[in-house]
Every structure is written in structure tokens, then in C-alpha cells.
Amino acid sequence: ETGVTQSPTHLIKTRGQQVTLRCSSQSGHNTVSWYQQALGQGPQFIFQYYREEENGRGNFPPRFSGLQFPNYSSELNVNALELDDSALYLCASSLRVTANTGELFFGEGSRLTVL
């Protein structure tokens, strides 16, 4: 186990709704990244948070947003859900030091189904 926990593990929403996914990072890790993984594909980078600020973003629209809290936990929010948002959402924590070194530690993911 990595020590990264995500909730909820599964959820079902309908088109147009909003969803919030939560991630608790591994103890001592100050950076959280979020990934979207569609069925049969590799994880796609959404964004990364470091010191409570977005620190890089992939090719995702603004309706994907996030937060990082002082305890380094994080939320991913998706507004106006679309059918294509159905995927496994993965949170990964890491320790950022002077350079962006260190491996990523992933949680088990939140599986979102949009109907």
C-alpha cells in the first residue's frame, strides 16, 4: 500500500452534474497530481498542486478544477459532467524538493460513471 487514499471508490452521476473527488496524500508528501484514466488507456495528466497552488496542467478544460489544503490533501472538482468524463480518476502524491525528483505514489482511484 502507498498510503494514498481516495474517496469515494465508485460513484455514478448524470450528465450536467458536478462531482468532487478527494485524496489524502502519503505522510510527508507535499505534491499531489491528478490523472484521468479511460478504459484501456494509460493515465492522462490533469494537473498538479504544490503548496496549495496549481503547478502545471494537462490538456483538460477549466471545468476540471482542484484544491490542495494545508495538510496537503486535495480535491478534484468536475463541473457540467459529460459522458466522456466516465473514467478512473487517480491521485498521486510525491515529495518535491529542490528539483522535481521522486517517484509518484498512486491511490487506488475513484471510478466515475456518467450516465
Partner 1 sequence: DAKTTQPTSMDCAEGRAANLPCNHSTISGNEYVYWYRQIHSQGPQYIIHGLKNNETNEMASLIITEDRKSSTLILPHATLRDTAVYYCIVRSHTGGFKTIFGAGTRLFVKA
* Contacting residues toward partner 1, per CB under 8 A: 2, 4, 33, 35, 41-45, 48, 50, 55-56, 58, 90, 92, 99-101, 103-109
Minimum distance of partner 1 from residue 15's CB (angstroms): 25
Q: Closer to partner 1 by CB, 66 or 107: give it.
A: 107
Dist. CA 64–CA 77, nearest whole Å = 6
Give the shortest CB-33-to-partner 1 separation in angstroms.
Answer: 7
Question: Rounded distance, CA 59 to CA 110, Å?
Answer: 20
Closest contact distance (angstroms) between CB of 98 and partner 1 is 9
Give the residue with the Cβ less far from partner 1, 13 or 50: 50
Name the residue nearer to partner 1 (CB basis): 84 or 103.
103
Closest approach, Cβ 11 to partner 1, in A, equals 16
Dist. CA 104–CA 32, nearest whole Å:
9
DSSP line for 36-104: EE-TTS--EEEEEEETTEEEEE-S--TTEEEEE-TTS-EEEEE-S--GGG-EEEEEEEE---SSS-S--
Of 43 and 114, nearer to partner 1 (C-beta) is 43
